[in-house]
Amino acid sequence: MARARSTDVERSLGRRMRGTAGLAALAGLAWVARDVPAALGGRLSGARAERAARSPQFREGTFHNRAGSRAMVAEPGRNLLRELIFGKQKRRPSTAVPLLRPTDEPATTDTHRELGVIWYGHASALVEIEGHRVLIDPVWSERCSPSTLVGPRRLHEPPVRLDELPRLDAILISHDHYDHLDMATVRELVARQSAPFLVPLGVGAHLDRWGVPAERIIELDWSESHETGGLKITATPAQHFSGRGLRRDGTLWSSWVIEGTFRKVFYTGDSGYFDGYAAIGAEHGPFDVTLMQIGAYDRAWPSIHMFPEEAVDAHLDLRGGLLIPVHWATFNLALHDWSEPVNRLWAEAKARDVQLAVPRPGERVVVDEPPAVDGWWQAIA
């Protein structure tokens, strides 16, 4: 009888412990996921929605590319999920990605003609132009995801901390995907910097939700410009899409032209290859340097991300001088080998006599004196 009572007590205690553990687990999950709703961002409303509705790119409630494009192309007999799990591609480096820490020295002693680029990894880069500093698509978080638990994780640390960045004159965002627009990074930049955020139409709704002051949000449609200091910054077309939750294309996406008195820079953002590059080159080129997206491509989505050979095509259409590849090495976002994008780009650039620089993350490239391509990534592929 006593043994039976003891067993009942043990069972009751076990149920209570399991219940307590379950509640603790739920509480822990809720704590970790507390920022997910905010990370999804805001939605167009009021004057912002009215302005979007007047855009030539906006119709039937969403933004559109000028040419038709599809985010996914079905391939009979191909299972992308199976390939993602069981594919033989080598999607991460064998050893650590080498990082460099840029010095505080300017790109050149002649600040009137200064032009340098520091690539921090993926699409994040700092453009040093004629004494001004423009930060592009800054993502410093561990994951490009609304969650800190799931989503693509960094393959290398940022080469510098956000509090080590110099004073910025502008912060450019190409579109609202998580690998280009990161809530935690934005919030820290708001606290540490005073520069305005230049974003495509609608993206300001996300920044509003994250506490960016209204006077620091500059929203531009394609072909619209904003002058800050001695720079003219213009939003130019791209062929892509947008969305942070279930809703697609509620904000615009863009490429960017950064123009000083003497120097010009072009950044693709994310884009498939399209005839808009030739038009941008004719209107705004030639460019001293282009920052070209080369990674995360696949034949299943050929119209929204460029293949490396197409990046060379686009660079030539733009009338670019030096080509610096971005959008590779940091996050595993596609099915190709980790080193494939830059290997293919290097081969194409040599075949077509295009000047190329492939910096390590954190390495400063002086555009007028670029380092020779040394294949550093091949030793760790």
| 72-81, 205-214, 307-316, 322-331: range with lowest mean pLDDT | 72-81
* CB distance 247 to 275 below 8 Å: no
Indicate the Cα dihedral angle 266, 268, 273, 274, nearest 10°.
-60
CA–CA gap between residue 48 and residue 61 (Å, rounded)? 13
User: What interhelical angle do 308-317 and 340-351 show, nearest 10?
Assistant: 40
| Structure confidence at residue 35 as a pLDDT band (50, 70, 90) | confident
* CB distance 185 to 170 below 8 Å: no
Amino acid 111: pLDDT: 76
Write the CB contacts of 341 (distance below 8 Å, at least 6 apart in sequence): 294, 295, 297, 308, 325, 328
* CB distance 146 to 184 below 8 Å: no
The mean pLDDT of 146-158, rounded to a whole number, is 96
Domain locations along the chain = 111-366
**Token code pair at residue 171:** 């912060």
Class of domain 111-366: alpha beta
Q: Is 187 helix (H, G, I), strand (E, B) or coil?
A: helix
Residue range 252-298, pLDDT digits in tens: 999 999 999 999 999 999 999 999 999 999 999 999 999 999 999 99
Amino acid 56: pLDDT: 97
CA–CA gap between residue 373 and residue 268 (Å, rounded)? 21
Amino acid 261: pLDDT: 97
- Residue 14: is its pLDDT beyond 80? no
Count other C-beta atoms under 10 Å from residue 63's C-beta: 23
For the chain, the farthest-separated pair of C-alpha atoms sits apart, in whole angstroms, at 94
Q: What percentage of the chain has pLDDT greater than the value 90?
A: 81
| 13-17, 33-37, 96-100: range with lowest mean pLDDT | 13-17
CA–CA gap between residue 118 and residue 159 (Å, rounded)? 10
pTM of the model: 0.90
| Structure confidence at residue 233 as a pLDDT band (50, 70, 90) | very high
